[in-house]
Structure 1
Amino acid sequence: LVYDLGGGTFDVTLVRLAHQRFQTLAIEGDVRLGGKDWDDRIVEYVATLFKQQTGIDPRSDPQALVHLSTAAERAKRTLSKLPQTTLTCMHAGHVLAVPITRADFEAMTRDLLIRTRLTTQQLLRQAKLTWDQVDRILLVGGSTHMPMTRQMLEELTGKPPDHSLAVSEVVARGAALHAGIVAAQQDFGEDLLMEEAARDVLSQVVEINVNAHSLGIEVKQGQERINDILIPKNTQLPTAASRVYCTVVENQQRVRVKVLQGEATQADACISIGECWIEGLPPNLPKSSPIQVRCGVGSNGLIDVMALDMTSGKMARTTIHRSSGLTDAEIAEQAEWVRRLRIQ
């Protein structure tokens, strides 16, 4: 089990490892929880004391808030090593030194830690496993330096968490390994700067992933638009699923198939990742005419959507690639920058 508490997000993953084989069994996470939430609790605690004594809230001034947030993160790091620290807040001519103990910090953030615990337990339920079947708990992310995370996990799992790897470097190392595997399994010729022995080993590695989020189709149900899930989260890839839907009005001339990502029932609460249209439906098409929708996800994450009007045989198809946030030009620019780096 990989427990990854980073600065802005929390993810927990179950992975089965074998010789030259990585199989992801299940993924769960909380995109609105990360180390910064622990920092913010210290900010709130100190700002409240400052306001009580001076009548002024330092968070009202952007510059003071930046200084306070920086000091809060530094205090969190110190409390990971020492039982007590002091945070100094300066604003509008006032100075306040606030002592904070590790026990104080753990008390003011207990609910945040419980959220990670509940998410971890949910992951085990989804995978239909017990803690006896989990061999290793691997800590990832700088926020796992906090002793409270290790204590909670050992209490929950009955196993001491493994922090033998540099928790702030694990993601980067894993990304480099994955890039090596992908590169070794593709023909880059002489452009691939990799020793032959390493290429031979990495080219034999098998990676099996799951769908991290459910994929569904937006459908109209009465006056509401709902997310009808076709491919549930944690489905092994590649995969595909199809379902037959119906037109909603008489003489409907076109159909839109909108693909959603998320677990919520309400379509508005999910992320729209793409759509396709079937245009020019036959005239006088009766209400509730069947439309078949097929959604497939490849091992590379590409989503293929097909919509078929079963009355006329007209079909629409589209391929959706969930972007990482960088354009191809930006990726090429960053790759060139990396190639120019020299290790001294």
Structure 2
Amino acid sequence: MSKVKYYYDPDTLSYRKIEPKKSKRYRNVFLFLAAAALFGFLGLTVLLNTNLVNTPKELSLEREVQNYELQYEILNKKMDQMEQVLANIEDRDNNIYRLYFEANPIPEEQRKAGFGGVNRYKSLEGYNNSEMIVNTTKRLDIIQKQMVIQSKSLDEITLLAEEKEKLLAAIPAIQPVRNEDLTRMASGFGWRTDPFLKTRKKHWGMDFTAPRGTPIFASGDGKISRADNNSSGYGKHIRIEHGHGYMSLYAHLSKYNVTPGQKVKRGDLIGFVGNTGRSEAPHLHYEVWKDGERINPINFYYGSLSPEEFESMLKFATQENQSLD
């Protein structure tokens, strides 16, 4: 309630009420309202530019930002786990897989290399959390690159494994006549006495004595290149091209069980023991060729003989006796 002011009137010897002018009253009201508006505006400006008071939209945005930060933190923890798993795969790739298949390991700097040149992350800069976003994006890009390199490496290992598998299947690795069917291992690879000329002569294979008609088996996967008696001294014989430079020859057969051009697997029945060609008695003359050169077949029986059987065969094969062809 506004105060009432009085003044003393000497003429009437009394106090009279002071009546304010309307213009002054209006001016006072205007000044009050102007001051109130200015103060309100300044106060609102200060509040809007501080964290003391937030609008519902700002609160919603703040919660959204906090959620994003939490998600980025979770993402980085997941990337830590991914990097550990990937590092383990890379270690096995270099030190086991690539080593086994005789492939050069992938250098660490190639696996871990970043991205040089232009700034790939310029569009992510200039924000409150730019550093976190840029670092996370960089890590994701590097992990992606490492995964691409590892994927290509495993593709290469798969091809090498397939080639290795084909090579292992192609190598003439088993004895062409079963042990239970053998009469004896008659002669080995090396210098032997010729049964007809009675002179010392190089024997280019191994002779397995067995009854006529004894089954003969392919010693490795391959393709029949010849099954005929058109080669001097061999009589009826079979040649298998195994690939990778390997060829095996089976001579003095009585009968064929394959035809030229036919594909065979290791252990397939290909023919039967005989006494055709330049032969003194029923037996199989067996040769192994590598890159056009005849080599000792005894080095290839790891697929069918026990250590004791191999040791016994080695003993007979190294004796310089008389061959059967």
Pick the TM interval, shorter chain: under 0.3
The structure where strand makes up a greater share of residues is 1
Mark the structure with the bigger radius of gyration: 2
Q: TM-score, normalised by structure 1?
A: 0.21
The structure where helix makes up a greater share of residues is 2
Q: TM-score, normalised by structure 2?
A: 0.22
